[in-house]
């Protein structure tokens, strides 16, 4: 049973590490974009947009996985699936806040694309999208570190 418990506990952090890697790769766009032009830039923009959509959906999946993991751990540890569903630590609450910020970031990206496609000015939303991405990068690092500390308390 200890192996099952460990797998359940580690499912969220392992999946989250993959998502963190994808998020930081996505952020590399800010450094790469100025050097691209023509068809190469168009292809890179399309890739950036599609990856943004995937990362937003994967973020939701990671949160669902976290809650599912806590429900299963609640059954294993306390015979109660609801026992660990309400976050009792800053990592859990910051994750919920982070999901909100991630969807705001995603929405800013979509608004930038929509404005660009319609011929409207999009520099303000593009700049805000980039700055929020920078802030999210910092907050994501803090959130991951808090998650590591939390892992140490439950193992």
The two structure tokens encoding residue 52 = 């943004």
**Distance (Å, whole) CA 15 – CA 68:** 13
- Residue 90 and residue 30: Cα distance in Å, rounded? 30
Give 50's pLDDT tier (boundaries 50, 70, 90): very high
Which residues lie closer than 8 Å to 103 by C-beta, 6 or more apart? 56, 59
What is the model's pTM?
0.91
Q: Mean per-residue pLDDT for 12-27?
A: 97
Per-residue pLDDT, averaged over 112-128, amounts to: 96
For residues 132-142, average pLDDT: 96
- 79 Rama class: left (phi>0) / alpha (psi -120 to 50) / beta: left
Question: According to the model, what pLDDT value does residue 16 have?
Answer: 97
| Confidence (pLDDT) at 155 | 84
1 pLDDT tier (thresholds 50, 70, 90): confident
Query: Residue holding tokens 């306390």?
Result: 78
pLDDT in tens, 144-155: 999 999 999 998
Mean model confidence pLDDT for the chain: 95
Q: Which pLDDT score is estimated for 57?
A: 97
> pLDDT (tens digit, 9 = 90+) per residue, 59-107?
999 999 999 999 999 999 999 999 999 999 999 999 999 999 999 999 9
């Amino acid at each position: 049973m200890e192996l099952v418990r460990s797998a359940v506990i580690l499912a969220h952090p392992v999946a989250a590490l993959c998502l963190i890697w994808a998020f930081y790769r996505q952020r590399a766009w800010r450094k790469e974009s100025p050097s691209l032009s023509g068809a190469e830039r168009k292809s890179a923009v399309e890739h950036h947009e599609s990856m943004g959509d995937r990362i937003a959906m994967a973020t939701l999946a990671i949160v669902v996985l976290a809650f599912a993991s806590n429900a299963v751990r609640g059954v294993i540890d306390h015979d109660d699936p609801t026992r660990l569903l309400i976050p009792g630590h800053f990592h859990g609450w910051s994750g919920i806040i982070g999901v909100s910020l991630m969807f705001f970031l995603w929405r800013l990206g979509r608004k930038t694309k929509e404005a660009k496609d319609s011929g409207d000015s999009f520099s303000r939303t593009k700049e805000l999208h980039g700055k929020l991405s920078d802030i999210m990068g910092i907050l994501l690092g803090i959130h991951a570190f808090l998650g590591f500390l939390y892992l140490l308390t439950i193992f």
